[in-house]
Amino acid sequence: MSEIHDVIIVGSGPAGYTAAIYTARAGFKPLVIAGAITAGGALMNTTEVENFPGFPEGVMGPDLMVKMQEQAEKFGATVMFEDVVSVELEGDVKTVTTEDETFSARTVILATGSQHRVLGLPGEETYGGRGVSYCATCDGFFFRDKPIVVVGGGDSAMEEANFLARFGSKVTVVHRRDQLRASKVMADRALANPKIEFAFNSAVVDMGGETSLETVTLRDTVTGEEKVIEANGLFVAIGHDPRVELVRDQLELRDNGYIKVAEPGTHTNLTGVFACGDVVDFTYRQAITAAASGCRAALDAQHYLESLND
């Protein structure tokens, strides 16, 4: 506790590592507490990333995160692969506590991300990166001319289905109710798409395939009848939850649970505390937009630190 860091970054991924690169290059020697299991964020569970600028041949998600980490460390960032168990964010000096140690800082940048809601089926993990996905924009291209299933009935699911219809031979939307929850304009757009079919009152209960996903089993939620359909891609679009457990009682949150910031900046309601990435962004959730917000958080923190010496 004797040392007071200028910047502590809680979380990693594109947002946290970009914030670390910028604050390190500015000479603030940030401490990044990246997480034990979640270090690197969602891209650690992604195979090939083809839409991140600068990689025309594509790049594996974990490789991209390692490169970002190494770049941050090159400029003076310290990265710890531990989990934060508590934070105290009020006052001029904030504290961040892991299982073994407590650190102090003048500024804290939160880049804790979000987690997709899962179906809870064993096959989700088995076929993760081999057919099961949570991001159509990220992975839709890989399922060109192949049958695709989208699970969900809200606006996100309809947006995913319409996007995936550009690639797949057909898209089957699976929804456990008898009508969509999506807004009328989004629902009408999907219902009018000739490549989209609907399986209402249905739920995915199993998945099959030797080395990658080949089939999914649907169960009728009314009759209990089951049927197997072809599917090389299964996109789960039932929502995301921001990782705000550490700060729920300290920071102002939006109605949907995401951290509220003073846009276009990244300032939270507490002085010297900034938030970036998917813990803030419930609209785009892309690696490049997360990196951009990490840059903004770093610049906001830099300006705040410089103001302390005025």
CA 74 to chain centre: 25
Q: Which position among 63, 83, 92, 138 bears the catalytic label?
A: 138
Length of the chain: 310
Q: Which position among 63, 83, 135, 155 bears the catalytic label?
A: 135
Sign (positive or negative) of CA dihedral 135, 136, 138, 139 = positive
Q: Which position among 63, 83, 92, 139 bears the catalytic label?
A: 139
Q: Where are the beta strands (DSSP E) in the chain?
A: 4-10, 31-33, 48-49, 59-60, 78-80, 84-88, 94-98, 102-110, 114-116, 132-133, 147-151, 170-174, 196-199, 202-208, 215-220, 226-230, 233-236, 240-242, 273-275
Q: From CA 106, how far away is CA 93, in angstroms rounded?
A: 5
Q: From CA 57, how far away is CA 135, in angstroms rounded?
A: 20
Q: From CA 160, how far away is CA 151, in angstroms rounded?
A: 10
With contact defined as beta carbons under 8 Å apart, do 235 and 127 qualify?
Answer: no
Q: From CA 310, how far away is CA 299, in angstroms rounded?
A: 17
Active site residue 276: no
Q: From CA 125, how far away is CA 282, in angstroms rounded?
A: 24
Active site residue 300: no
Cβ-based neighbours of 63, under 8 Å, separated by 6 or more: none
Q: From CA 26, how far away is CA 42, in angstroms rounded?
A: 27
Active site residue 135: yes
With contact defined as beta carbons under 8 Å apart, do 278 and 15 qualify?
Answer: yes
Cα atoms in the Cβ-side hemisphere of radius 13 Å centred on 231: 29
With contact defined as beta carbons under 8 Å apart, do 250 and 268 qualify?
Answer: no
Which positions are annotated as active-site residues?
135, 138-139
